[in-house]
Amino acid sequence: MTVITTHVLDLARGRAAAGLDVRLDRQAGDGGWDPLALARTDGDGRVRAWPGAPEPAPGVHRLTFATGAYFGAAGVEAFHPEVSVVFRVADAAAHHHVPLLLSPFGYTTYRGT
């Protein structure tokens, strides 16, 4: 099972944010970040799998969304060059869905299902 998924909706354009680069990291024991995988949202704005990522493990994780590049490709200036969402995985077998609602000047996130 893929333990971490995301879905990005572009609120300014009223559609899924397709083609947005997302990086998945896990916090190391020293407080730094270990990169796990890179992915790009599909046509529905989703990342359903992380190519090359190791087996899921409990710990603190981070999704970093390349929002500046995404909006820049559309000719839109964005306030946030990237958005990082940090969250805890307690149960490595559980599904962790982390949606992002995005606009050029703000965002919100929550734990989805």
pLDDT of 91:
93
pLDDT of 37:
97
Q: How many CA atoms lie within 13 Å of 19's alpha carbon, on the beta-carbon side? A: 8
Conformational region of residue 26, where left means phi above 0, alpha means psi within -120 to 50, and beta covers everything else:
beta
pLDDT of 2:
60
Q: Locate the domains of the chain by residue range.
A: 4-109
Q: What is the pLDDT of residues 33-60, one digit of tens each?
A: 999 999 999 999 999 999 999 988 999 9
This prediction has a pTM of 0.95
Question: Which residues, 6+ apart, have CB-to-CB distance to 43 below 8 Å?
Answer: 16, 18
pLDDT of 55:
85
Q: Which residues of the chain have pLDDT under 70?
A: 1-2
Give the CATH superfamily of 4-109.
Answer: Transthyretin/hydroxyisourate hydrolase domain (2.60.40.180)
Question: Which residues, 6+ apart, have CB-to-CB distance to 56 below 8 Å?
Answer: 1, 3, 4, 89, 92, 93
pLDDT of 19:
98
